[in-house]
Amino acid sequence: MTADDTTPREPAPDPRQVRWPSPSNSSATGRRIGRTLSRWRATFVPVVAAAVISGGVVGLTLRDSSTQHVTIQTSNAEPGGAVLPSGMTIPALVKMVSPAIVSIDVKTNYAEEQGTGMIINKNGLVLTNAHVISSALAGASIRVTQTGSTTSRPAVLVGADTANDVALIRITNASDMPIVKFGKSNSLQVGDAVVAIGNALGLAAGTPTVTQGIVSALGRNVTAGSGAETETLSNLIQTDAAINPGNSGGPLLDSNGHVIGMNTAVAGTLSDGTNAQNIGFAIPSAKVESLLPELLKGGTVAKRHAYLGVQIMSMTQDIADQYNFSVATGALITTVMQGSAAENVGLRQGDIIVGLGSSRIRSAEDVSTFMSAHKPNQRVSLTYIRGTKSVVTKVTLGYSPS
């Protein structure tokens, strides 16, 4: 910021409404985890006093008015990194992945939006959340700072899918960039170890915050937004890894350092005033990958896809064992929307979708991919499991919510 900049008004907070599907009618207020702030920032400077001591165990003697002396024992042993189930330490994972992570600043004359991005090809294509770069749709400038750098670089918008909250930008004149590697989000289980990396609170571009946690739940459906801007996101990963404003668009990593989700939202305050704690949501990497072809075409993806009208989660062997389902793959229906195509053909909570058209359905992401590739009013075959019985029916697809 230059000396002749004026001091703007602090923009209003950006709340997000988060609603879980029935049978629970509870609701929560959360927020997008892009970081919106006026054109000023506080500087966070920790004060550290350090001494370098060589040798083995050393005694440091201090004196004060009340005691003769106090001896503090110190050691030259090196700290050890936390070890993930893969055997990789978190410091090793961060060293491997962080060069492909960027901090994102989208600036207008009055405010800036801060978030995180993941470099996915050597020519500088970066994935992030659509709400991070929303101002760029109206011409705001985008700059990115690669981890380890102190210099930002310009970037341009390639494509945005606001309904699914995913966007693609390109770093100008980039080449030979490090890239992230995607993992298998369809294979996640509750309890799997995860690590989040992102530009939390915008503390310092190029020096992301790292947090660790587990997969807390799978198949979450939330409606989130700010004012008139809302989107309903389905089949999200829930995690207790700490994510904060500025983490939007950053990776949720498995214990091998592979991207299995894009951090996008946090739960805030419940309807009864209770504060939610350690509840964050990430878009599965399989979903993000399925959106790339449309994003690469450029522009804003605004078309309404086909819609079945169900909230679903991926079936796993653990779920099958716990609830005595007869199959361990497919898309488990958790809610059937009133008046939807699914309700019209008699689908129920607990049914498992295993086929659509000629496509075999192994996960919730397979259903989303199928719907994205089809148009409303198309009539397709649908195969589902109810109990031990396989049922085949025809369904006329509806319109996705606008």
Mind telling me the catalytic residues? Answer: 131, 165, 248
For residues 264 and 33, give the distance between their C-alpha atoms in angstroms, rounded to a whole number.
6
Angle between helices 285-296 and 364-372 (to 10 degrees): 10
DSSP string spanning 123-167?
Answer: T-EEEE-TTTSGGGGGT-EEEEEETT-S--EEEEEEEEETTTTEE
Specify whether the backbone of 219 is left (phi greater than 0), alpha (psi in -120 to 50) or beta.
Answer: left
For residues 236 and 221, give the distance between their C-alpha atoms in angstroms, rounded to a whole number.
6
For residue 99, give the DSSP letter.
Answer: G
For residues 353 and 315, give the distance between their C-alpha atoms in angstroms, rounded to a whole number.
10
Q: Report the relative pairing of strands 153-161 and 299-300 from DSSP bridges.
A: parallel
Q: Of 220, 303, 306, which Cα lies nearest the Cα of 267?
A: 220
For residues 400 and 304, give the distance between their C-alpha atoms in angstroms, rounded to a whole number.
5
